[in-house]
Chains A and B, each alone.
Chain A
Amino acid sequence: MESLSGRKKVLEQKPMNFWERIYLPAIFKGMAITFSHMFKKKETIFYPEEEREFSENWRGMHSLKRDENGKERCTACGLCALSCPAEAITMISAEREKGEEHLYREEKYAAVYEINMLRCIFCGLCEEACPKEAIYLDGPIVPADFLRKDFIYGKDKLVEMPINELEALKEARF
């Protein structure tokens, strides 16, 4: 048969010569190679003292960002919940009261914001959909847990810590 692309290679199957048949020279060469590996650099990463580096585009745990004044950016518009292909995000919105000007940027905010980490596929569509640049997937790997209900992360785990932590902790309503 003519070969169509010219890449056919006929395999040479010569009978082995004496040195090949006794296998010993090949075995010794192989053993020399293995031995040389003992003196090369080891590839092991010693977790938890060292950690493997993530790439720049790594998508980890979600975090709800704040702006320069420490106010939460999220306005509970629901675009992230709409865009999530796994329907992992749910929220309940609330109206900003008189004394809470420094906590939330606009009049509407998310009183309850929950992401079910077991449903989430870390695709990043919520990050792309958010008009307020409020949600980013820049956290670490979601840690393991025992019960399913513990994987539904609320605002306490998702909102990033403000610069002035103590005041915000005292006054924010979760």
Chain B
Amino acid sequence: MEIAFIIEKLVLVTILFVATLTIAAYSTWAERKVAAWLQDRVGPNRAGIFGLLQPLADGGKMFFKEEIIPSGANKWLFIAGPSLALLTSFLGTAVIPFGQNIELFGRSIPMQVTDINVGILYIFGVVSLGVYGIMIGGWASNNKYSLMGAIRGASQNISYEIAMGLSIIALLLVTNSLSFKVIAEQQHSWHWNFFYQPLGFLIFLVCAFAETNRVPFDLPECETELIGGYNTEYSAFKMGAYMFAEYINMFVSSAVMATLYFGGYNYPGMDLVNETLGATWGPLVGVAVLLLKIIAFIFFFMWVRWTIPRFRYDQLMNLGWKVLIPLAIANIVITAIVITVVDKL
């Protein structure tokens, strides 16, 4: 384990951490702006030009508010809930390949913190842990509304994980590998997996909405039905942690979707660009393309939020178990048949 390797990874982790925090903070800005534009109004525009310093103001507000812990609450679990949610959100960013190997200081550095050869399984494990954050937070609040919100959130999360996993299995049949790096490399230039697995992408998209608790699946935290859901009793920084965890989850889901189905850092014409710019600057264009795709997905999340009404709980469960799972299984069967037939030809 040479020192250069350690420094490489440390720098990569730091950059990724800071970038994730910035993207999550500006997602809150983007959410308010996009929500405003879709509703014929202008979002925040007083704090700095176009309201760009608004996340700073919001962050400052989160810091300075009073931290209240309800008297009947379990103190350690109360603090552990949002911490766990935030932790598992950040863990998900570790396996995403942000670009091809970049040539710096004479070494070829991969733009991925770690290339586990079961990368997709790792993402699923981390996402499953995210359920704990909600459940613990809701239970520890000593509040019936929080408990209801936590129960609904937990059941929603585990129901839609199954369909997500099944849709990934179909993808696995196509790519023959669970590692993110290999999947990204296979989608060179035009061969994005979206064209091979459109139904799988649709199922994965719906399940991503459900996993991140975004509308139309935001029953755990809606205001009209549950006062505040699992984050009713949370005040300053812990509330900020929950909201941040939600936006980071959105970022990770967008990144995973962009990498698995939309080619990650690949774009048509990338060979030409890489030859022209060389191995130091070429991959950075790939990073920029991936960020663009992630931003497009985040915009899509927000766009759907302000269009569609919320699902009722039984409709949600119906969709998860009775519609998506059969559809995902059918997707697997069809994919397997097509692969077999194409191989025989």
Q: A residues touching B (Cβ–Cβ < 8 Å)?
A: 27, 30-31, 33-35, 37-38, 40-44, 46
Contact = CB atoms under 8 A, between A and B. Distances in A.
Contacts of B40: 37, 40-43
A37 B39 contact: yes
Given A27-B307, A27-B308, A34 B38 contact: yes
Nearest to A39: B37
A38 B41 contact: no
Contacts of A42: 37, 40-42
A43 B39 CA distance: 9
Contacts of A34: 38, 303, 306-307
Interface of B is mostly: loop
Interface string B294-327: 0000000001101110000000000000000000
A24 to B, nearest CB: 8
Contacts, number: 32
Nearest to B216: A27
B307 A30 contact: yes
B41 A35 contact: no
A42 B40 CA distance: 5
A46 B303 CA distance: 25
A39 to B, nearest CB: 9
Contacts of B307: 27, 30-31, 33-34
Interface of B: 37-42, 303-304, 306-308
Contacts of B306: 34
A42 B41 CA distance: 5
Given A30-B308, A34-B307, A41-B40, 13 more contacts: A27-B304, A27-B308, A30-B307, A31-B307, A34-B38, A34-B306, A35-B303, A37-B40, A38-B37, A38-B38, A40-B40, A42-B41, A46-B42
A77 B325 CA distance: 84
Contacts of A38: 37-38
Given A30-B307, A30-B308, A31-B303, A37 B42 contact: no
Given A30-B307, A30-B308, A35-B303, A43 B38 contact: no
A41 B41 CA distance: 8
23 contacts: A27-B304, A27-B307, A27-B308, A30-B308, A31-B303, A31-B304, A31-B307, A34-B38, A34-B306, A34-B307, A35-B38, A35-B303, A37-B37, A37-B38, A37-B39, A40-B40, A41-B40, A42-B37, A42-B40, A42-B42, A43-B40, A43-B41, A46-B42
A60 B63 CA distance: 42
A34 B306 CA distance: 8
A35 B38 CA distance: 7
Contacts of A27: 304, 307-308
Contacts of A37: 37-40
A46 B42 CA distance: 9
A37 B39 CA distance: 7
Contacts of A30: 307-308
A35 B42 CA distance: 15
A100 B39 CA distance: 61
Rank and list the top 8 A-B pairs by shortest CB-CB distance, nearest first: A38-B37, A34-B307, A44-B42, A44-B41, A30-B307, A31-B307, A34-B38, A43-B40
Nearest to A32: B307
Contacts of A41: 40
A33 B304 CA distance: 12
Contacts of B42: 42, 44, 46
Contacts of B303: 31, 34-35
B123 to A, nearest CB: 26
Q: Which of B40, B41, B304, B306 has the most CB of A within 10 A?
A: B40
A104 to B, nearest CB: 48
A46 B41 CA distance: 11
A41 B39 CA distance: 10
B7 to A, nearest CB: 45
A38 B36 CA distance: 9
A173 B41 CA distance: 51
A83 B108 CA distance: 89
A41 B37 CA distance: 10
Contacts of B304: 27, 31
Contacts of A44: 41-42
B33 to A, nearest CB: 10
Nearest to A31: B307
A116 to B, nearest CB: 35
Contacts of A31: 303-304, 307
Interface centre among A31, A35, A41, A43 (most CB of B within 10 A): A31
Nearest to B46: A46
A37 B303 CA distance: 11
B306 to A, nearest CB: 6
A144 to B, nearest CB: 19
